[in-house]
A and B are shown apart, each in its own frame.
Chain A
Amino acid sequence: EAQVTQNPRYLITVTGKKLTVTCSQNMNHEYMSWYRQDPGLGLRQIYYSMNVEVTDKGDVPEGYKVSRKEKRNFPLILESPSPNQTSLYFCASSSSPGGFYEQYFGPGTRLTVT
């Protein structure tokens, strides 16, 4: 089954404790992206990757890191999480960034930083 998976689905952590949210897709997609979703603000892009070893900042990259060492995986790293990073995070993948190719979203990771 074609899908995007994220782990963990729920995470409660404390300020400053490094964490990684994993994202994996099995559709051989070139493009992967991370979004955060907050009430009233919609989906805001954090980072995206056009291909292996190619990443770029989205609208709200501060406090986040990413890497793309393999085509299928695109982990999101919070080196020193803060309460303002409490949010719902979605990973997405696509054959291409946009154009005529739809994005497939993972199930989401709800992160709470206390």
Chain B
Amino acid sequence: QIQLVQSGGEVRQPGASVKVSCKASGYTFTDYGINWVRQAPGQGLEWMGWISGYNADTQYAQKFQGRVTLTTDTGTSTAYMELSSLRSDDTAVYFCARDAGEEYDNSGYYPGWFDPWGQGTQVTVSS
């Protein structure tokens, strides 16, 4: 079955960086993009960015531009999210999620939905 398995929880000090991995299985990695979404304690879902599994093109949410880097390793079907200059308000569960069902037509581009999701990775930023 299609599955995304994320790396384990991390604890970092303010100002440091963290890199979370997301290993895909059960489908052809290069056929789909991967999104990264985070959820702070007691808060809602926040989209951070997207990376193409095909050519590593990226799109970052404006809030995270310059601080987040998305990469892929097609040889191991793994996506990575690195967040730098960590602050206490970056404490959150970070999810990866595969794109599904994107469409193009003469009118434009319609991104798909997120399915499946990884299990989430807790990142704690604390001194």
Partners in one complex: no
Interface residues of B (CB under 8 A from A): none
